[in-house]
Amino acid sequence: MTTTQHSQSSLGQFLKSRRERLQPSIAGISPLPGRRRTPGLRREEVAFLANVSVTYYTWLEQGRETNPSQEVLMSIGKALHLSVDELKHLFDLANADTSSAGKSRSEKAVDGFFLQKLVDQFRYPSFISNEETGVITAWNRSAELVLADFGRIPEEERNLIHLIFLNPDYRRRLENWEDLARYSTAFMRANFDRYKENPSFMRRFERLLQESEDFARFWQLFEIQQKRVTRAAYFLSDGQRMNFEIHSAAVIDNDPNLHWCIFMPMAETDTEERLCRLLEQDNR
């Protein structure tokens, strides 16, 4: 059996198992007439609740439909009362973009205390941001000493692409400014359609277009970049030069919008030693 066939079979089996566990009374509908041959909902009832045709839903369970849209998956997930984890699993089985599944997650508040404790475990500069809005929500002392004093920056400006294009001091200290600026613009363009419905994201985008000729110029290049390891070189106030590789991790604490950036000292430089001395001096 090929991987694709296995995925289709698994998707159908999962839908069938969720359908059979859900009773019409729980689903909020009156049972269709006639003797019920299987436990739970019938295919017709799931199709009705999800607002899709019976034929289409049947094909999904049988593996004959291989490319369901995100909207259809969301509707079926709602019809079957899937939990957040089950909905993500449904998207995974369908090889679909899980960003929409994330938007239906429980609206629990971000645990700022946990995020702060997480970044505090690292001596390397590190921060966690909300990828949809770009706002940096947690950072460690090392990030304050090397990157920016985030605590003194207003929340609406506490955003890496904002700092790159609209903060003169940050730009002056970043040796490879143009490389990082073009990468950041290309990454923003690659994700533009995902977040263009978010008012905060669009306000930041419009401000960048209006206030930064460089951003507008790079935007018109139509370059696309996905998240990857990139490099940054910073000059500190005393002239020290530090070289980092920027690594990233997504879906922090099962939140698809939280993104963790870690600035790893480059191995072939003395950045690790300089960073250790800087932190030792700060603790005196």
Work out the pLDDT band at 92, boundaries 50, 70, 90. confident
DSSP secondary structure string, 147-166?
Answer: T--GGGS-GGG-BHHHHHHH
Judgement on whether residues 96 and 159 belong to the same structural domain of the protein = no
Condensed to tens digits (0 to 9), the pLDDT of residues 182-220 reads 999 999 988 887 788 889 999 999 999 999 999 999 998
Domain boundary among 103, 133, 153: 103
Other CB atoms within a 10 A radius of the CB of residue 1 amount to 8
Domain boundary among 39, 72, 103: 103
| CATH number for the domain that contains residue 133 | 3.30.450.180
Bridge partners (DSSP) of residue 265 are: 244
Condensed to tens digits (0 to 9), the pLDDT of residues 224-233 reads 887 889 999 9
CA distance 226 to 102: 19
Work out the pLDDT band at 274, boundaries 50, 70, 90. very high
Judgement on whether residues 213 and 254 belong to the same structural domain of the protein = yes
Q: What is the average pLDDT across 40-52?
A: 90
Count of structural domains, the chain: 2
pLDDT averaged over the chain?
86
Domain boundary among 103, 130, 161: 103
Judgement on whether residues 78 and 130 belong to the same structural domain of the protein = no
Judgement on whether residues 244 and 126 belong to the same structural domain of the protein = yes
Bridge partners (DSSP) of residue 245 are: 231, 264
Say whether pLDDT at 181 is over 80: yes
* Token code pair at residue 13: 């089996």
CA distance 21 to 196: 38
Judgement on whether residues 30 and 69 belong to the same structural domain of the protein = yes
Judgement on whether residues 120 and 99 belong to the same structural domain of the protein = no
For residue 222, give the H/E element and its range.
none
Residues 6+ apart with CB under 8 A from 234: 146, 147, 173, 174, 175, 241, 242, 244
| CATH number for the domain that contains residue 95 | 1.10.260.40
Judgement on whether residues 33 and 57 belong to the same structural domain of the protein = yes
Cα dihedral 79→81→83→86 (10° resolution)? -50
Judgement on whether residues 179 and 69 belong to the same structural domain of the protein = no
Angle between helices 43-50 and 70-79 (to 10 degrees): 120
Domain of 174, in residue numbers = 112-283
193 burial type by CB count under 10 A (0-12 exposed, 13-18 middle, 19+ buried): exposed
Condensed to tens digits (0 to 9), the pLDDT of residues 147-176 reads 999 999 998 899 999 999 999 999 999 999
8 Å CB contact between 137 and 116 = no
Which pLDDT value is given to residue 28? 74
Give the predicted TM-score (pTM) of the model.
0.65
Judgement on whether residues 185 and 167 belong to the same structural domain of the protein = yes
CA distance 217 to 148: 25
Quote the distance between the C-alpha of residue 31 and its chain's center.
Answer: 40
Judgement on whether residues 202 and 68 belong to the same structural domain of the protein = no
Work out the pLDDT band at 104, boundaries 50, 70, 90. very low
Which pLDDT value is given to residue 129? 94
